[in-house]
Structure 1
Amino acid sequence: MTTFALIGAALAQALPGMRELGRGGRASAAGPPPLSTAPEEKDTMKIQLTTDTGRFEATLNDSAAARDFAGLLPLTLTLSDYVGTEKVSDLPRKLSTAGSPSGAAATAGDLTYYAPWGNLAIFYKNFHHSDGLVKIGELASGIEQFARPDGDFEVTITAAD
Structure 2
Amino acid sequence: MPRETVLPTLKRAMALVGATALAGAAGQAPVPGQSEQVASAMRLHIDVAGATITAILDDGPTARDFASLLPLALPLEDYNATEKISQLPRRLSIEGAPAGIDPAPGDIAYYAPWGNLAIFYEDFGYSSGLVKLGAIVAGGAALDVPGPVQATIRLAE
TM-score, scaled relative to structure 1:
0.71
Structure 2 residues not aligned, in runs of 5+: 1-27, 32-38
CA distance in 2: counterparts of 1:147 and 1:83, whole angstroms:
14
Across the two proteins, how many residue pairs are aligned to each other? 122
**Aligned-residue identity in percent:** 46
Q: Match of 1:17? A: none
Q: Deviations for 1:83-138, whole angstroms, at most 9, x for unmatched residues? A: 10000000000000111100001010000000000000000011100000000000
CA distance in 1: counterparts of 2:134 and 2:84, whole angstroms:
15
What is the root-mean-square deviation of aligned Cα atoms in Å? Answer: 1.7
Q: Does 1:69 align with 2:73?
A: no
- Compare CA radii of gyration and give the structure with the larger one: 1
Q: Match of 1:120? A: 117
CA distance in 1: counterparts of 2:91 and 2:55, whole angstroms:
21
CA distance in 2: counterparts of 1:53 and 1:125, whole angstroms:
22
Structure 1 residues not aligned, in runs of 5+: 1-38
CA distance in 1: counterparts of 2:123 and 2:140, whole angstroms:
12
CA distance in 2: counterparts of 1:115 and 1:40, whole angstroms:
32
Cα pair distance change 1:101/1:41, threshold 3 Å: farther
For residue 41 of structure 1, report the CA deviation from its aligned partner: 6.8
Q: Does 1:138 align with 2:117?
A: no
Cα pair distance change 1:40/1:127, threshold 3 Å: farther
Q: Deviations for 1:48-75, whole angstroms, at most 9, x for unmatched residues? A: 0001140111111111110000000010
Q: Match of 2:75? A: 78
Larger RCO (CA within 8 A; separation ≥ 6): 2
Q: Give the secondary structure class of the aligned counterpart of 1:62.
A: coil
Q: Match of 2:89? A: 92
Contact 1:108–1:143 (CA<8 Å) still a contact in 2?
no
Q: Give the secondary structure class of the aligned counterpart of 1:106.
A: coil
Cα pair distance change 1:110/1:41, threshold 3 Å: farther
Q: Give the secondary structure class of the aligned counterpart of 1:65.
A: helix
TM-score, scaled relative to structure 2:
0.73
